Amino acid sequence: MLAVNTANVAQRSLSAVVWNYAGAIARALAQLGVQVVLARVLGPQVYGQFAVLLVVIGFGWLLAESGMGAALIQMQEVTDDAIRQAIGAVLLQGGIVGLALMGAAPYLASLFDEPALTGPLMVCGPLVVLQGLCNIPASLMRRNFDMKRWQLIQVGAYVTSFGGLGIALALTGWGVWSLVAAFACQSFIAVLAAYSIVRHPLRPLFRMSAGLRSYSAKVLGSALASWAVDTLDRAIVGRIWGVTALGAYSAALGLARAPATLLSHSVHSVSLAMASRLQSDNERLCRGYCAVSAGMALVLLPAFALLAVASEPLILLLYGDRWIEAIPLFRAFAVAMPCYVLATNTASFMWATGSVGKELASQLLVATVLLLGFAVSGALPLSLAVWLVPIAHALRSLMLYLLLSRRIGLAHRRFARALAGGLVLAAAAVGAWLLSGWLPLEAYPRPAVIVRFAFVGLLLVALVVATRGLLIGEELCGVLRGRLPSNRVGRLVSRVLGL
């Protein structure tokens, strides 16, 4: 039996969040460097082809994994039989889904008018099984708050696979196959490394308890709705505006979502484990939710506000003139990402408090709005239709918050105070960027962009320090006061922030 000591949940959760954020930053930096190289080498069309493959793999993985990982995390105690049942479900469902994808590959390729995708689409079949199996040891690591080693695994697997194998194959002319091979390599490394740490039972059990089946079915429904919100827009874009436009769309979305996805997954995994252990105490849930939301707002809101106003110089600096069509798309995605991450955090608290069904209903409504909106806007330029994305994510975030606040008795004014610091920093970031345009740097366009970003960053840090903790929020300050003084660096940070 794999059990978790519930003592010091708050401290262990904070430690896990710190390691998740450290891993998120490392992966975001790695992805930025690798994706810039791959985008310049491969171009928009290949990126569009790989985006189609990711849509298929993502859908197949959800059906193969079917909420088993979240079910293992949510359990009060995880038995060997529960793990074996999860493995059996993944193998059985993944095998069926994989065979179906392999058979449907020619039809999917013709749907996007890309016959060359038939072979890569057939490879998606075994990849969804591999992805589903990888989530079992990964979920057990997250349940045990072992975020340090899991983040190291993720960073190492990505850098080795995409930064090494992927770039090497791209430079030798493998096209979309270079990205497929890198994805497969990353999955193999992750599953082997995670299993070497957890060492869970491997023999599958092809039956499932009623509780596991019920919870996993609810999670699967919610995950499918979330996948529809996050992914099906790319399928529709590729079908209506073409694969090359999909390449620009995917590159812009990837650049905006790389840090957002890592942060949302980091917070989601820790929030789910923490809230699952506090689910009977509404006041502690309110404090935890406000503390996590305040921390995310301080990072997300100023960062993406800055990216939105600086989208043109940033895209040209990173990707070059071939990607100019991605500029207005990236601006819309930068507006959408804070809502996306905040909604993911709220969803984890909904899951932990047994409100998966309500969270599913909200996602289905938003998915319908988003997909129908794209379907009927085919006559518009993609640069205008793309604003459906931030509208849909804002609607989803608001609906989930209203559901959770009613569930745990959270006052709206209390939550607004938690977000206030991030909103102030976002306004300061936009103002600082506009102000930095007056600096005499026009003769050196690329260094000027870097200098302007550095100027904004330093100003925001100075603002946080000068306000002496006022922008951090009451709940987050309480958590930091209890954690930071435990070491010398923490005590220094505490003094600097005025905590």
Q: Express each pLDDT in 433-488 by its tens digit.
A: 988 877 666 555 677 888 888 899 899 888 888 887 788 877 777 666 665 555 66
pLDDT recorded at residue 16: 57
Q: What residues contact residue 448 under an 8 Å CB cut-off, 6+ apart? A: 313, 439, 441, 442
pLDDT recorded at residue 354: 65
pTM for this structure?
A: 0.70
CA separation (Å) from 356 to 115, 125, 270, 271, 272?
Answer: 40, 29, 17, 15, 12
* pLDDT tens digits along 23-76: 667 777 777 788 888 888 888 888 888 888 888 888 888 888 777 877 787 777
Domain range summary for the chain, segments of one domain joined by +: 1-208
pLDDT recorded at residue 232: 76
Q: At what angle do helices 9-65 and 147-158 cross, to 10 degrees?
A: 50
Quickly count: other Cβ atoms within 10 Å of residue 345's Cβ.
26
Q: Is the pLDDT of residue 261 over 60?
A: yes
pLDDT recorded at residue 146: 75
pLDDT recorded at residue 208: 74
Q: Is the pLDDT of residue 416 over 60?
A: yes
Res. 296 pLDDT band, cuts 50 70 90: confident
Quickly count: other Cβ atoms within 10 Å of residue 3's Cβ.
11
Res. 2 pLDDT band, cuts 50 70 90: very low
Query: By mean pLDDT, which of 185-189, 373-377, 492-496 is the weakest?
Result: 492-496
Q: Is the pLDDT of residue 415 over 60?
A: yes
Whether the CA torsion 402, 337, 68, 49 is positive or negative: it is positive
Query: By mean pLDDT, which of 105-109, 151-155, 175-179, 364-368 is the weakest?
Result: 364-368
Percent of the chain with pLDDT over 70: 82
- HSE (CB half, 13 Å, CA atoms) of 402? 7
Tokens (6 digits) for 195: 């299993």
The predicted model gives 132-138 an average pLDDT of 86
Q: Tell which wins on pLDDT, 144 or 387.
A: 387
pLDDT recorded at residue 277: 59
Q: Is the pLDDT of residue 215 over 70?
A: yes
- Cα-flanking dihedrals φ and ψ of residue 39, to 5°? -65, -40
pLDDT recorded at residue 157: 92
pLDDT recorded at residue 18: 61
SS3 357: helix
Q: Read out DSSP for 88-135? A: HHHHHHHHHHHHHHHHHHHHHHHHTT-GGGHHHHHHHHHHHHHHHHHH
How remote is the C-alpha of 40 from its chain's centroid? 24
pLDDT recorded at residue 71: 79
* pLDDT tens digits along 84-98: 888 888 888 888 998
Of the candidates 459, 18, 431, the one whose C-alpha atom is nearest the C-alpha of residue 263 is: 18
Biggest alpha carbon distance in the chain?
69
* pLDDT tens digits along 69-89: 777 877 777 788 888 888 888
* pLDDT tens digits along 336-389: 999 988 888 888 787 766 666 666 677 777 777 777 888 888 888 999 999 988
Percent of the chain with pLDDT over 90: 20
CA separation (Å) from 488 to 19, 477, 492?
Answer: 18, 18, 6
- Cα-flanking dihedrals φ and ψ of residue 78, to 5°? -105, 120
pLDDT recorded at residue 209: 76
Of the candidates 134, 140, 146, the one whose C-alpha atom is nearest the C-alpha of residue 19 is: 146
Quickly count: other Cβ atoms within 10 Å of residue 483's Cβ.
17
pLDDT recorded at residue 6: 44
pLDDT recorded at residue 491: 62
Q: Which amino acid is at 158?
A: Y
Separation between Cα atoms, residue 107 and residue 184, nearest integer Å: 23
pLDDT recorded at residue 4: 45
- HSE (CB half, 13 Å, CA atoms) of 56? 33
Q: Is the pLDDT of residue 8 over 60?
A: no
